[in-house]
Amino acid sequence: MRHNKIGRRLGRAPSHRAHMMRNMVTSFFEYEKLTTTVTRAKELRRVAERMITLAKRGDLNARRQALKVIHDRKVVAKLFEMIAPRYQDRAGGYTRIIRLNPRLGDNAPMSIIELVEEEFTPKQKAESPKVDEKPVAVEEPAAEEAVAEEAPAEESAAEDTQEEKNSD
């Protein structure tokens, strides 16, 4: 059984899979966009978002941890100096996967994974209005008075119609 096994195997040996992910994440941060299969894109998203979170920390230890995965120092410098500051206010969700048409050769589902570019505006929590019983009690008599005022007008109109009937 495969319980509590995180990650996709992608039909590769573990060492080959690790090297492939390193190459993919390096290319992804170099070009900020990558076309690949959907399952590889989903697996790449996990690694890429972890690297951006490390880069947001920005300290030396985070840079060394990123260098364990991304072996190109120029790409790590770009990640820490250009990419991470764009997402300083965003708490995750740095990438987007867009599905494409299937690949012609083997009909594999293809996708583009890219960095999210639009500005992030954090949603403010809407405060629920506190229910005060006093204003509600004050408004109810006003509504009853309006109904009471309408009722005599209707009664007088009804009396007029009865008088007309009686006079006929």
Q: pLDDT digits over 48-102, tens only?
A: 999 999 999 999 999 999 999 999 999 999 999 999 999 999 998 999 999 999 9
Sequence-distant (6+) residues with CB within 8 A of 144 are: none
Do 82 and 44 lie in one domain? The reply is: yes
> Tell me, what CATH number does 18's domain have?
3.90.1030.10
Give the amino acid at 7. G
Looking at the structure, tell me whether residues 160 and 93 fall in a common domain: no
Domain shared by 45 and 79, yes or no: yes
Closest to 28 in 3D by CA, of 72, 62, 63: 72
For residue 21, being part of any structural domain is answered with yes
CB 10 within 8 A of CB 40: yes
Q: What number is the average pLDDT over the span 149-167?
A: 61
Q: Where do we find the tokens 């899979």?
A: 17
Residues 70, 78: Cα–Cα separation, whole Å: 11
List the one residue out of 27, 32, 19, 22 whose CA is nearest residue 84. Answer: 32
Residue 4, in any domain of the structure: no
Q: Is residue 162 part of a domain?
A: yes
The number of distinct structural domains making up the chain is 2
For the chain, where are the alpha helices, taking DSSP H only? 14-31, 38-57, 60-69, 73-78, 133-167
**19 and 97 part of one domain:** yes
Could you give the C-alpha distances from 107 to 33, 35, 100, 111, 162, in angstroms and in order? 22, 15, 11, 12, 84
- Same-domain pairing of 35 and 102: yes
Task: State whether 106 and 35 are in the same domain.
Answer: yes
Q: Are residues 98 and 165 in the same domain?
A: no
Domain that holds residue 143: 127-168
**65 and 92 co-located in one domain:** yes
**pTM (whole model) above 0.75:** no
Q: Is residue 145 part of a domain?
A: yes
Q: What amino acid is encoded at 125 in this protein?
A: K
Instruction: Determine, yes or no, domain membership for 43.
Output: yes
Indicate whether 76 belongs to any domain.
Answer: yes
Task: Say if residue 92 is in the same domain as residue 136.
Answer: no
Tokens of 152: 């005599």
Per-residue pLDDT at 18 = 93
Same-domain status, 111 and 155: no
Over residues 10-45, the pLDDT tens digits come to 889 999 999 999 999 999 999 999 999 999 999 999
Is residue 49 one of the residues assigned to a domain?
yes
Model confidence pLDDT, tens digit, residues 133-156: 555 554 555 555 555 556 555 566
Q: Residues 29, 73: one domain?
A: yes
Identify whether residues 162 and 96 lie together within a single domain: no
| Structural element, H or E, at residue 79 | none
